[in-house]
Amino acid sequence: MEGETEERDYKVLVVGEGGCGKTSYINQYVNHIFSKAYKATVGVDFALKQVQWENTRVRLALWDIAGQERFNHMTRVYYKGAHGAMVVFDVTKDKTFQAVPRWKKDIDSNLDNIPTVLVANKCDLLDNPLDTETMEKFCAQHGFIGWYETSAKENIRVEDCGTFLLEHLVKRDRELNPGKYTNTEKTVSLTQASDPRLAAKTCNNSC
């Protein structure tokens, strides 16, 4: 088994309006921390998350566009070569939800139908959960593969959401490149192999 280990790199975009918690979400997903890190690592534009999936070692590069959303035409340069995307919005701010279709359209006009998941972040601040029917309708209408109500702060469904996207990424990869995968079992079993050091690997401190 060990000799056959394959490696896969996926670039995943995390987009959304400013202030809806993209950075926190990535921090929670990759490092399992919500603002606990006291060692500042400035200059990381993407965080790496390593996931063992069957006999494949998958490396997810999560591209954080924090702050870049103000430069709206800028983000397109980031889109290049992405395999998947997450569109994040803040459930407490309607404005960020209103912007979701625009972000999705942006992705679609630059990339060829990549799996995109809708992330309803900050659900810990919400008294009542979102209406499932409306959300599913919304997803179908805008071409999202699914949606997740998450909280980066309380670590609610952050992992699930990532797994869900990964599943689709791998599925799509197989469709596009048949034969690369020897094992075609449908079962997904993820083993956590996150290494926080990897996140800091690309750190390029300006000091």
Catalog residues that contact another protein under the rule CB under 8 A: 17-19, 23-24, 27, 35-45, 64-74, 76-78, 80, 93, 109-110, 202, 204-207
Rounded to a whole number of angstroms, the minimum distance from the CB of residue 106 to another protein is 9
Q: Which residue type is seen at 29?
A: Y
The Cα 167–Cα 1 span in angstroms is: 21
Rounded to a whole number of angstroms, the minimum distance from the CB of residue 186 to another protein is 34
Q: Which is nearer to another protein, 41 or 163 (CB)?
A: 41
3-state secondary structure 40-62: CCCCCCEEEEEEEECCEEEEEEE
Q: Which is nearer to another protein, 155 or 202 (CB)?
A: 202
Q: Which is nearer to another protein, 50 or 110 (CB)?
A: 110
The pair phi, psi for residue 117, each rounded to 5°, is -115, 145
Q: Which residue type is seen at 10?
A: Y
Rounded to a whole number of angstroms, the minimum distance from the CB of residue 140 to another protein is 24
The Cα 34–Cα 181 span in angstroms is: 36
Q: Which is nearer to another protein, 56 or 151 (CB)?
A: 151
Rounded to a whole number of angstroms, the minimum distance from the CB of residue 195 to another protein is 19
CB atoms within 10 A of CB 28: 25
